[in-house]
Amino acid sequence: MSSSPTGRLVGARINRKEDVRILTGKGRYIDDVHGRGVLSAYFVRSVVAHGRITRIDVEAARAMPGVAAIYTGADMAAMTNPVNLLPPMPNLVGPTFPVLAVDTVRHVGDPVAIVIATDRYTAEDAGALVDVDYDVLDPVISCDDAFAPGAPQLFDDVPGNLIFTDEASFGDVEEAFASADRIVTDVLDQHRWSCVPMEGRGGVATYDQATGGLTYEASTQSAHLLRIMLAGFTNQPINQLRVVANDIGGGFGLKFAICREDIAVCAAAKKLGGSVKWTEDRNENLTSAGSAREEKLTVEAAVRNDGTLLGLRVSMDMNLGAYPGMASAFAIPKQILFMLPGPYKIPAYAYSVRVAATNKATYVALRGPWAAETLARERLLDKIADELGMSPVELRRRNLITMADQPCPMGTGVPLETMTAAETFERLVSKVDLDAIRAEQAAARAEGRLLGFGIGTAFEPAPGTAAYWANIGFPAGSEPMKMRIEADGKVTAFTSQVPHGQGHETTLAQVIGDELGVGFDDVRVVFGDTDATPYSMMGTAGSKAAMMATGAATVAAREVKAKVLEIAAHMLEASPSDLQIENSVVSVKGVPTSGVPLAQIAMGAMLAPGLMPAGVDLKLEADTSYDGETGGWSSGSHACWVEIDPDTGKIEISRYVVVEDCGTMINPGVVDGQVFGAVAMGIGGMLLEHSAYGPDGQYVAATFMDYLMPSAPEIPEIEIDHLEYQAPTMIGPRGVGEGGTVIAPAALMNAIDDALRQVGGTRIEATPVTPTRILEAMGVIPRE
Amino acid sequence: MTSPMTQRQITVTVNGAARAATVEPRRTLADFLRHDLDLTGTHLGCEHGACGACTVVLDGAAVRSCLILAVQADGHEVTTVEGVADDGAMHPIQQALWDNQAFQCGFCTPGFVMSIYGMVGEGCGRLSRQEIREELSGNICRCSGYQKIVDGVEAALSGEVTA
């Protein structure tokens, strides 16, 4: 264990607690939950994109030995309530749909029946015998399909396949565009790609016939929200429903809230009065779990010839797939459009958006769900710089909001304070010699090689501010924590976070250890069990933990510490303000030999209360929350160097630099890990990964041979520099999990376009950037 | 559907101990390890041989246990993540990965540990960072961006590590 420069736990690159079980194969993921009588579930899924179920025959399957039950959509509808996950909101039309398809299937992979059997092999054998006939309907694949006159309608209660519309305007947009020297327009057609956690979705539902209680051990990011939703859809009293999360093999947004399969598995366990396990396999995950990022944006900038931005106008279509999830239909498009002006002075801004229902799997959140805005904006800025003959650095510098400009509103009116994107940008630029890069590019061109360089910058709500979240229509909320000093002086903390790779058992123990003066190994962080942990809706999502859970841990630790010191003050005959706790011993400051072990105080409080000082609170517990103060932002700027093979179109990233600011780093190793992983995801999304559908709505990326995940050789060595700006809030850390995935696509795409520009290639307007698209852009091969 | 006619008796040496079982011929080695022997450290990330999460060492070579049938392992020696170090201890490879905070969610981790264990066992010697990346190209990790896994392997290979 290395220690921090200050000798404290916070700031130290401490080895993670989680890794002891993870590295030795002792983690407990969903499929590791074994036990006598645990049945296996398998979903029979639609093989067509859009169709009417004309017949479903389960008799042969039901007759197979080992099959406990098969429930069709109609059976399941009798056991559950219809699903509609969208809140009442203007211009939002949420369809109501069954847990399993009853009459209509709306995407390839739509679940039509659940088979429950003694083991997975038998369940799949039986599933193969379920005979479903479909009357195939015309599919709706793109937003243009969805909005075309006479388009097939996905849902009776969603006229025109239009789930959500919104528009807003800030400042005098007409005037900005009328007075501009030029208007620069750009298009971004981002493809669909997916979260793809290495562990798919899943859960084990157990109904206890003795108590009537239902326990769902789930692969979830949001245990409490899942519990509330499950209770409603399965008619289970909430106080008889417990959700438990143990090790979770990644989420990236996919495992937020609830999925239809969760409901079916719980309803089946309740009906059977036993235990049912569903482990999503990779084929199901790629086909059915949902995917992200299918947005098409047209952005126009009103610009003066000196590079000053006067205004932006944006229109966006988002392809939501079928069966809208809780937040994706409105909160993600609003986040995209509220963040789009970014860290730049944009006096006038207008947006409009249409969200379409289509015959694809559900649109889900993916790490930095608003990322399309940074990609669209940063690409537009490079296009403007190119048209003005200005360097991309100079154009940004002219328009960035610096710390000196704040407090001030961003382009969407959201107040900004202590937002450091411009400062990360300047740090990045100080590491980059643009003239040398241009010279190197010219020299390479002379040898027939093609080099590109790109940058991107952004800030992110990590956790954001109350004003920001009010605009999105999603509550910011406070963060709870319960804490208890045990009889031996060790500490148990109960968080509402549901960590799935973020390392909160480690980082929160660092925070609590410092606050309470106890050792890292003396703190245990309990998560994921709704019977034990305090309620919050979010769980682990939205880059909130670094500030919010740290704040909750801090205020809870201070509360229990005050109680300890009050007791110790009597024992040591000193004022509480003169006492300290160090190495689990309470002593008078400056008189370490005066100490009383924390364990002695705790054991006395619990086991010998009569011997303790009278009139003091002996309950060494806290149940409190942190309000987030004024909130905060994280920022980052990236630079990317690429080399493109002009013969094959292959893109190689030769260098990658990140400057990020997430405030105080609790554990620099964890921070670096989040940045490396997030950047890798952004690179994979732009170059390799594609949740692709054919023109008939068939899903054509159902294996890892078709859906290409980045492996180690495809990802460059990434250099990171941290700004560690200390905001005036009591709590210093900010979230760092998402920015890499938001900014990397922008820096990478700008580098690719920079390379293409040098040889007269056309701009890339549609992703992913495959070698084929590069060769098309270079005119080497004709466009498809 | 199981029937006695299709069952096979096998004996596999797993982590040094002979394990006898009756399995269907179609049962994968991964499912045999996980469900019959309760060795759930071997994870299944794709079940089509692409992600490497299920990697185990079979007679000294790293293999995908999702692509091998349990009956094919009859009479052979298998090492899983549970068998690389004494209970409660870490192998130097695991220690180096821990010290470098190589992993996050941990689902892919046993597969990486076993691929690296296999590499070391086959005498890979010191490798450059790019060579390490190539050696690990058969394992997918969604969380880490690979950089700290490479750091960990580099550290492990710089010491006196033997499989």
Q: What is the 3-state secondary structure (H, E, C) of A150-163?
A: CCCCCCCCCHHHEE
Of B97, B142, B128, nearest in space to B115 by CA: B97
Same domain membership, residue A619 and residue A527: yes
Residue that terminates a domain, selected from A288, A310, A339: A288
The range of the structural domain enclosing residue A123 comes to 30-137+201-248+255-288
Domains (ranges, CATH) in chain B? Answer: 4-83 (3.10.20.30), 92-158 (1.10.150.120)
Same domain membership, residue A428 and residue A359: yes
Q: Is A529 part of a structural domain of the chain? A: yes
CA distances from A710 to A333, A364, A684, A688, A744 (A): 27, 20, 5, 7, 14
Collapsed DSSP state (helix, strand, coil) of residue A665: coil
What is the DSSP pairing of strand A131-136 with strand A104-105? Answer: unpaired
Residue A178 CB neighbours (<10 A): 11
Chain B residues with CB-CB distance to A676 below 8 A: 144-148
Of B46, B101, B129, the CB nearest to A704: B46
Same domain membership, residue A760 and residue A727: yes
pTM: 0.97
Q: Is A405 part of a structural domain of the chain? A: yes
Chain A residues with CB-CB distance to B46 below 8 A: 282, 703-704
**Average pLDDT of the residues in A602-608:** 96
Same domain membership, residue A739 and residue A620: no
**Average pLDDT of the residues in A451-472:** 95
Quote the pLDDT of residue A185: 98
Chain A residues with CB-CB distance to B44 below 8 A: 31, 281
Domain CATH code at residue A101: 3.90.1170.50
Question: Is pLDDT above 80 for A377?
Answer: yes
Chain A residues with CB-CB distance to B103 below 8 A: 19, 22-23
Kindly state whether B6 is in contact with chain A, defined as any CB-CB distance less than 8 angstroms: no
Same domain membership, residue A433 and residue A392: yes
Chain A residues with CB-CB distance to B98 below 8 A: 15-16, 19-20, 23
Same domain membership, residue A635 and residue A622: no
Contact B146/A715, CB-based, under 8 Å? yes
ipTM confidence score: 0.97
**Average pLDDT of the residues in A196-209:** 98
Question: Is pLDDT above 50 for A663?
Answer: yes
Q: For A212-251, what is each residue's pLDDT tens digit? A: 999 999 999 999 999 999 999 999 999 999 999 999 999 9
Same domain membership, residue A517 and residue A435: no
Residues of chain B with pLDDT under 70: 1-5, 160-163
Domain CATH code at residue A621: 3.30.365.10
| CA of B137 vs chain A CAs: smallest distance (Å) | 5
Of A121, A673, A713, the CB nearest to B144: A673
Same domain membership, residue A497 and residue A412: no
Question: Is pLDDT above 50 for A2?
Answer: no
Kindly state whether B81 is in contact with chain A, defined as any CB-CB distance less than 8 angstroms: yes
Quote the pLDDT of residue A327: 80
Of A18, A119, A715, the CB nearest to B145: A715
Q: For A286-323, what is each residue's pLDDT tens digit? A: 999 999 999 999 999 999 999 999 999 999 999 999 99
What is the DSSP pairing of strand A651-661 with strand A718-722? Answer: parallel
Kindly state whether B121 is in contact with chain A, defined as any CB-CB distance less than 8 angstroms: no
Closest residue on chain B to A720 (Cα): B147
| CA of A31 vs chain B CAs: smallest distance (Å) | 8
Q: Is A334 part of a structural domain of the chain? A: yes
Kindly state whether B154 is in contact with chain A, defined as any CB-CB distance less than 8 angstroms: no
Residue numbers of B between 86 and 115 with CB closer than 8 Å to A: 90, 94, 97-101, 103-110, 113
Of A21, A249, A709, the CB nearest to B105: A249
| CA of A711 vs chain B CAs: smallest distance (Å) | 5
Cα separation, B21 vs B19, in Å, equals 7
Q: Is A153 part of a structural domain of the chain? A: no
Quote the pLDDT of residue A36: 83
Of B50, B133, B144, the CB nearest to A677: B144
**Strands across the sheet with A241-244, in order?**
A67-72, A111-117, A38-45, A275-279, A202-208, A213-218, A241-244
Chain B residues with CB-CB distance to A13 below 8 A: 101
User: A357: which 2 tokens?
Assistant: 């229902």
Q: For B116-156, what is each residue's pLDDT tens digit? A: 999 999 999 999 999 999 999 999 999 999 999 999 999 99
Q: For A41-55, what is each residue's pLDDT tens digit? A: 999 999 999 999 999
Residue that terminates a domain, selected from A597, A626, A655: A626
Average pLDDT, chain A: 96
Q: Is A172 part of a structural domain of the chain? A: no
Of A452, A466, A537, nearest in space to A498 by CA: A537
Q: Is A1 part of a structural domain of the chain? A: no
Same domain membership, residue A571 and residue A687: no
**Average pLDDT of the residues in A254-258:** 95
Quote the pLDDT of residue B163: 62
- CA atoms A178, A184, A189, A190: torsion sign: negative
Of A479, A749, A507, A741, nearest in space to A634 by CA: A741
Q: For A58-104, what is each residue's pLDDT tens digit? A: 999 999 999 999 999 999 999 999 999 999 999 999 999 999 999 99
Kindly state whether B129 is in contact with chain A, defined as any CB-CB distance less than 8 angstroms: yes
Collapsed DSSP state (helix, strand, coil) of residue A201: coil
Cα separation, A686 vs A677, in Å, equals 15
Q: Is A658 part of a structural domain of the chain? A: yes
Kindly state whether B137 is in contact with chain A, defined as any CB-CB distance less than 8 angstroms: yes
Cα separation, A546 vs A673, in Å, equals 14
Q: Which residue of A1, A13, A14, A22 is the best one to mutate when testing the B interface, meaning the one whose CB has the most B CBs within 10 A?
A: A22
Quote the pLDDT of residue A7: 67
Same domain membership, residue A358 and residue A237: no
The percent of residues in chain A predicted with pLDDT above 70, rounded, is 99
CB A738 within 8 A of CB A678: yes
Same domain membership, residue A325 and residue A273: no
Residue that terminates a domain, selected from A557, A591, A626: A626
Amino acid at A460: E
Contacts of range A418-421, beta carbons closer than 8 Å, 24 or more positions apart: A418/A632, A418/A633, A418/A725, A418/A727, A418/A728, A419/A343, A419/A459, A419/A633, A419/A635, A420/A459, A420/A633, A420/A635, A420/A661, A420/A723, A420/A725, A421/A342, A421/A343, A421/A457, A421/A458, A421/A459, A421/A635, A421/A636, A421/A637
Q: Is A8 part of a structural domain of the chain? A: no
Same domain membership, residue A641 and residue A618: no
Number of domains in chain A: 3
Question: Is pLDDT above 50 for A594?
Answer: yes
Question: Is pLDDT above 50 for A1?
Answer: no
| CA of A219 vs chain B CAs: smallest distance (Å) | 12
